[in-house]
Amino acid sequence: MKIKFKDYALFNNSHKYELSPLTFLIGGNNCGKTTFIKGLEIIKNGELESINQVRKCK
């Protein structure tokens, strides 16, 4: 599955992220791992209005 965030937190519109059945998120502190997971939760739950709420929490 490929995913592309549009105007979401620190993710820009130019990169597509490929997810497989087993995907690891690796990176330093404050690089967006948790934000990425929250974005996936928003997509899963269909909570498109929540994108602005997540952005305000940062």
| Model pLDDT for residues 8-46, shown as the tens digit of each residue | 777 777 678 888 999 999 999 988 899 889 888 888 887
pLDDT band at 48 (very low <50, low <70, confident <90, very high): low
So what's the pLDDT on residue 4?
81
Range of the domain at 48: 2-57
Q: What is the pTM of this model?
A: 0.65
The count of domains in the chain is 1
- Orientation of helix 50-57 relative to helix 33-45, angle to 10°: 160
3-state SS class at 28: coil
